[in-house]
Structure 1
Amino acid sequence: MSLSNLGSATATNSSLNQKNATNSLQNKANFLPNPFDLHDPQILDRVYLTHVTDDEFCDTNIIFELVSSVVLQTIPKISVTSFKPEFPTLKLISCQMITTRNDPHCVHQTTLWILQNLRSYSWDAKALITLAAFTLEYGNYLQLNRVTTTDTLGNSLRVLNQVQTRKISNDVTELVKYIVDMLIHLNVWATWSADGYDPVDVPALTDALQEIPVFVYWTIASIVASTGNLVGVSDYKLSAYKERLSRVVEELVKHLATCERQIRNVDDLTSRTNNYRKPKDIVDCLKALIHRNGTDIPQIYQGNVQVKSGLDIFKQKHVLLFISSLDRIQDEITLLNSIYERLQENPKESKGFMKEDFKILWIPIVKKWDDIQIENFKALKSGIKWYVVEYFSELPGLKIIKDPELIGYIDNPIIPVFNPKGIITNEDAMDLIFQWGIDAFPFRKSDGNDLKLKWNWLWDVIKKATPGLLVKVDRYIFIYGGTNKKWIQDFTLELEKIKRHETIKRADVIIENYQVGKDDPNRVPSFWMGIERKKQNKKHQETVDCKIQEIVKDLFCLRRDPQGWIILSKGHSIKLLGHGEPAYQTLVEFQNWKDKVLEKEGFDIAFKEYYQMKAKEISGREPCEVLNVDTYSSNVIGTISCPNPMCGRVMEVSSIHYKCCHRDEPNNLGV
C-alpha cells in the first residue's frame, strides 16, 4: 500500500471514529435526560437512589476552610497537614469531571456518578468533596498564574498547563464563589441535624431535608460544568446552572429561617425547663413560666392596678398558682376571692405558717387572643382581688404548664402550690380548696388528709343516724336536732323560707337539711353514743386526735343546749357546730345579711359571721354563772353544768363555790 493510500485510509478511519463518537454521544444523549428538563421532585427521586448511609468520615469543617481560602483567596484560619477523604478520592472525581463531554446530559451522568461514589458520605460532605476536587485544578491554575520568572519549576509547570493561553472566565469565578457562600446554608442545616432536635419540635428540619438532595445535585452539577469550562473542554452557559441552584437555595433559606425560630423556641424551652426544675427561688420559677427572655413582659396586676415590682412581689412567698381558661371560672374566682379574704384575717399564723406569706396568682390560658377574649379577660380581672398575669400573645412557658411531668394543665382549672424555694408542695389544690376552703391552709395534701381524719368519723356517725343523706361538694347541708320540738319546727320553717329566697337562687346556692331522728327517734341515742365512743381519756399525742377530742367536747356541749343544735357543712367540710338559738335567730334575720351571701363569696361564710354576732349578743345577755354555796354538808362535791345554754359545760369547783371555767370563750360560739 502506498503512503497516499495509507494516508487516505487513515483519514477515512479518523472520519469514521469521529462519526462513531458523535453517534455514541447522541445515543447517550437520547438515553440520558437533560437535567434542565427535569423538575426538582424528579431529581430528588434519582438522587435519593444514590444515597445509602452517611457513616463515612469526612473532615467537612477542614475541607470547607481550605476550599474557601482557595476560592475566596483568603488566609486559612486553621493549620492542617492531612484530612479525610484522601487525595486519590479527590483526584478521581477531578479527572471524571475533566473528561466529561460538552453536553448537559453528560453533566447529569457525571453528577450521578459522583453521588454514587460518595454514597456513604453525608449530604454536606458530598458537595464539599466535589468542590475540593474542583479546587485541585482551579487552585493549580491560580497558583501557576502567579509564578515569577525566576521560578524555573513553576514556569515549566505553567507552560505544561498552558496557563499563558488560558483564561478563567468571570462566570466560572462568580459561580464557584456563589457555591462557597451557599454551602454555608448546607453546613448550618447539617449542624442542626446533627444536634439531635426532635422532628416534632423542629419540623422545618424535615421540610428542609426535602430540598437538600436537590441542592447537592445542582451544586455538584454546577461544579462539573465549571470544571469543563475551566480546562477548556466545554463552554456551558453557567448562568443556567446558577439559576437552578439559586431557586433551590431560596426555598432552603426559607426552611432554615423557620428552623432557626423553632430551634430558638426549643432552646428557650430547654433553658426554661431547667430553670423550672431547679429554680433559685419562687421568682425564678415564675419567670420560667411567664417572662420573655430579658424582659419584664408580661405584666403583673392586682385587680386593675399594675404591680410595679413585677414578680418580685412574690419573693419569699408561697404561691397558689391558679391556671385556667376564661370559660366558666366564676365559681373558682369566687372561691379564691374568699380564700384571699380569709388569708387577711386572724389568726395570722396557723400550723407554723404565716397567712400573709401566701399569695394567689392567676395565669389565664387562651389559645388565640382576640378582641372578645381580651374584653372577657378584663371583665374577669376587674372582679379579682389577687394577682393576675396580663398578656395577649403566646405565653413563653406554656409547654411547661401543659407538660404532664411538670405542671400538667390540660383544660380544667388547677391550683398548684409553690413554696418560697419554687418547689411544688401540692400539684393541684383545687379539690382540696373547694372541699375545705381556708381550713385546708397551708394547702398541702397532708392538710386534706388531716381534715378527712378530723371529720370522717363524724360523718360516719351522722350517716348512720340519717339514712338517705347525700353529700355533694357544691351543696350546703344543715344537720340539726334537739329536745325542743318547737325550736326544731321553727328552725325548719325558717330554713325552708331561705331555700326559696331570691338571693339564694341568684347566688346559685343549693341548701339541703336533715333532722337527726326525724323518721326514727331511736336513731338519736345511737347518734350520741357514736360520738361518745370517740371520746378518749388517754393523753393525746397526735394533733388530729386532739382536734377530734375538742370536736367531741363541743358536740356534747351542744347536746345540753335546751333549744337545739346545728351542724353546717359545705360538702364534707364542716363549717360550724352551732347552738340552737343563735342559729335560729340568724335564719330569722336573713334579710339583714342576705347581701353578704354574694359579697362574702359563700353562704357558709355569711351565715357563720352573722351567727357569731348573734351568739355573742345572746351570751352577753346571759353570761356564765358563778354559784356560791354557803353550806355544803356532803363529803362529795357534786357536778353542776353552767346554766347559760350557750355554754352548758361542767362548772369548775373552786373552794366552796361553782363557776364556769369557759367564761365567754369564742370557741363556745361554734367552730
Structure 2
Amino acid sequence: MLGLANNVAAKVASVVTTTHQHITGDHELSLFTMSDQKILEQIYGTHVHADESFDDDSLFGITENILKRATQIVDKIVQGTQVHVENIEENTPKAGFSAPLCTLKSIASEMQCKPPSEEVAHNTTLAILNKLSSYSWEAKAVLTLAAFAMEYGEFWLLAQLQESNRLAKSIAILKRVPVLLKPSDLHKKRQAVLELNNLIKATLQVIECIDQFDKLSSYDPKDVPALAIAMDHIPVDVYWAVATVVACATKITILTSNEDKEHDLAPFAQKIHYVLNKLKIQLIVCRKQIEEAETYRRLRKIFQTPTEIMEVFKALIFTKENVQPLVDGSTKQMVKIDILRKKNVLLFISSLDISDDDISILKPIYDLIKKDNQHKIVWIPIVEHWTDDRRKKLESLRNKMPWVKV
C-alpha cells in the first residue's frame, strides 16, 4: 500500500514538474533548434558599442600558430606515421604587441570544468559574450579562441616535453596529461580525440573567415551588396564559434578525467561546418563583387581621362595581371598588345555566331586601312561557356580573318 502511495505521489510530482516547466519555460534548452532570430535576441543584449581596441590581428596570428601546431601534434601522437606533416607558416605579431592576458584568463576560467550540456554551453557562451560586451564581434571570437588556445597549446606542449623535462612532467600531472596519453586510454579515446581536433581546426577556419569579413567591412555596401548580408549575420556566426569552443573545452575536461561522461560533439561539428561553408561561399561572392566594382571604377577613370588606346583596350579585355598576346591574322603570329599603341582601333565584338557575309563586310575596310598602318581592326569574341566545338569554331573563324584577334 505504501509502495502504491509512493508511486502515485511520484507521478503527481512528475506531472506538476512538467506543468511548471511548460508554464515557466524551465526546461532543458535545445541549442540546435534555436532560430537565428532567437539567438540574435539573446546575444544583442550582451553587446554594447565596440570601443575596446587592441591588436586583434596579432592575437589571431599567434592563436593560429598555437592551434595549427597543437593540432598537428595531436594528429601525430594519435595517428603516428599516418599523418601528413604540413609546413606551418609562422605568423609574426606586430612590434610591441602585448597580449590581453587578464582578459584571456578570465575567458578561460569561464570555460573550465563545465558539465556537458547544451544549456550549459549556451549559458557559458552568453557569459563570455557579456565579459566581452565592449569588443567588436570579430574580436569576441578571436579572444575566445585565443583563451582556448592557451590551454590546448599548453596541454600538448607538455605532452611533448614531459618525458624529457622534469618540470614539464610535474605540470603535466597537474594538467592530467598522463590520464589521456596512457596508451590504453588513448587507444580507447582515439576517435574522440581526432573528432575534437578536427572540430578545433574547423572553428579556427570559421574565425579566420570572420576576420576576413572584418577586413572587407571598409567597402561600400552599395558596391558589395553581399557584404552587408554577410555582416548582418556575423553576430550569429560568432555565437556558434564561441559555443563550439566552449564545447571543445568541455570535451577536453571529460577526456582528461576518469569519468565516462557522454559529450557528443557531432551536432557542433555539423553546425560549425555549415557556418564555415556558408562563410566561404559568401567570401567568394563578396570578392567577386569587389573585383567587379574595382574594375568598373578603373574603367570609368580610364574613359574619363584622355589616355592611350592600348591602355583602354587592356582595361576592357584583360585583368591587370593577365594581359595576353593577340593574334595577327595576316601573319598568323602571336603579337604583343603594343601593336595597338598610338593606333585608331575599330573593335569588332561578336559571339561565334557570325557568318562569312559578316566577315566579308569588314574585309574592304581592312584592305583600305592596312596600307597606312595607322588603323587596326580587332575582333573580340564573346563566349560565356567554352566547349571543344566552340574552340574549333573559334579557330575556324580566326583563320578567315586577316585582322587582329583576341
Partner of 2:371: none
Aligned counterpart in structure 2 of residue 34 of structure 1, from 8, 11, 30: 30
| Corresponding position of 1:316 | 342
> Where do 1:113-152 residues align within 5 Å?
113-148=127-162, 151-152=165-166
- Alignment of 1:202 with 2:229, yes or no, is no
Partner of 1:249: 276
Which residue of 1 is the match for residue 13 of structure 2? Answer: none
Change in Cα spacing, 1:301 to 1:388, as seen in structure 2 (3 Å) is farther
CA contact (8 A) 1:300 1:389 kept: no
Q: Quick one: which of 117, 137, 151 aligns to 1:103?
A: 117
Give the corresponding residue for 1:237.
264
Please give the per-residue CA displacement for 1:377-426, whole angstroms capped at 9, x wherever unaligned. 9489659847665445499xxxxxxxxxxxxxxxxxxxxxxxxxxxxxxx
Aligned residue type for 2:264: K
The total of aligned residue pairs comes to 321
Residue identity opposite 1:224 in structure 2: V
Note closer, same or farther for the CA distance 1:391–1:285 as it changes in structure 2 (3 Å cut).
closer
Tell me whether 1:170 sits opposite 2:194 in the alignment: yes
For residues 150 and 311 of structure 1, the distance between their equivalents in structure 2, rounded to whole angstroms, comes to 65
Deviation at 1:360, TM superposition (A): 6.8
Superposed CA RMSD in Å reads 4.2
Q: Deviations over 1:118-170 (max 9, x none)?
A: 23323322211111111222223223333446744433323333332245833
Alpha-carbon spacing, 1:141–1:309, altered in 2? closer, same or farther (3 Å): closer
How far apart are residue 246 of structure 1 and its match? Answer: 0.7
Alpha-carbon distance in structure 1 between the residues aligned to 2:104 and 2:203: 18
1:156 equivalenced with 2:156 (yes/no): no
Higher CA-based Rg: 1
State the match for 2:185 in structure 1.
none
Paired residue secondary structure (2:346): strand
Name the TM-score, length of structure 2 as normaliser.
Answer: 0.64
Contact 1:301 1:389 in 2 (8 A): no
Flag the structure with higher helix content: 2
Helix, strand or coil at the partner of 1:30: coil
Distance in 2, Cα, partners of 1:88 & 1:316 = 65
CA separation in 2, counterparts of 1:197 and 1:370? 37
Amino acid at match of 1:136: M
- d(CA) in 2 for partners of 1:49, 1:381: 71
SS at match of 1:72: helix
Query: Does the 8 Å contact 1:218/1:245 carry over to 2?
Result: yes
What TM-score results when the alignment is normalised by the length of structure 1?
Answer: 0.41
Q: Secondary structure at the match of 2:126?
A: helix
Structure 2's unaligned 5+ residue stretches are 1-16, 70-87, 182-188, 367-375, 385-406
Q: Cα 1:32–1:91, aligned 2, differ >3 Å: closer, same or farther?
A: farther
Give the structure 2 partner of residue 332 of structure 1.
none
Matching residue's letter, 1:261? K
Tell whether the 8 Å contact from 1:276 to 1:288 is kept in structure 2 after alignment: no
Q: CA deviation at 1:187?
A: 2.5
Amino acid in structure 2 at the alignment position of 1:260 = R
Query: Which residue is 2:72 aligned to?
Result: none
Aligned to 1:266: 293
Give the match for residue 282 of structure 1.
309
Residues 392 and 90 of structure 1: is their aligned pair in 2 closer, same or farther, counting only changes over 3 Å?
A: same
Are 1:361 and 2:346 matched, yes or no? yes
Equivalent position amino acid for 2:66 in 1: V
Shift in Å, 1:217: 1.6
The amino acid that maps onto 1:163 is: V
Counterpart position of 1:489:
none
Question: What aligned pairs does 1:267-666 form with structure 2 within 5 A after superposition?
Answer: 267-273=294-300, 275-276=302-303, 281-291=308-318, 293=320, 294-295=322-323, 315-317=341-343, 359=344, 361=346, 378=358, 382=362, 385=365, 390-393=379-382
Is 1:290–1:298's contact at 8 Å kept on the other side of the alignment? Answer: no
Q: Percent identity?
A: 27
Amino acid at match of 2:208: I
Quick one: distance in 1 between partners of 2:167 and 2:318? 68
Is the counterpart of residue 58 in structure 1 residue 72 in structure 2?
A: no
One-letter identity of the residue aligned with 1:64? F
CA contact (8 A) 1:32 1:109 kept: no
Question: 1:151–1:251: structure 2 CA closer, same or farther, 3 Å change rule?
Answer: closer
Distance 1:72 1:292 in 2: 35
User: Is the CA contact 1:300–1:307 (under 8 Å) kept in the aligned structure 2?
Assistant: yes
- Higher relative CO (Cα under 8 Å, sequence separation at least 6) belongs to 2
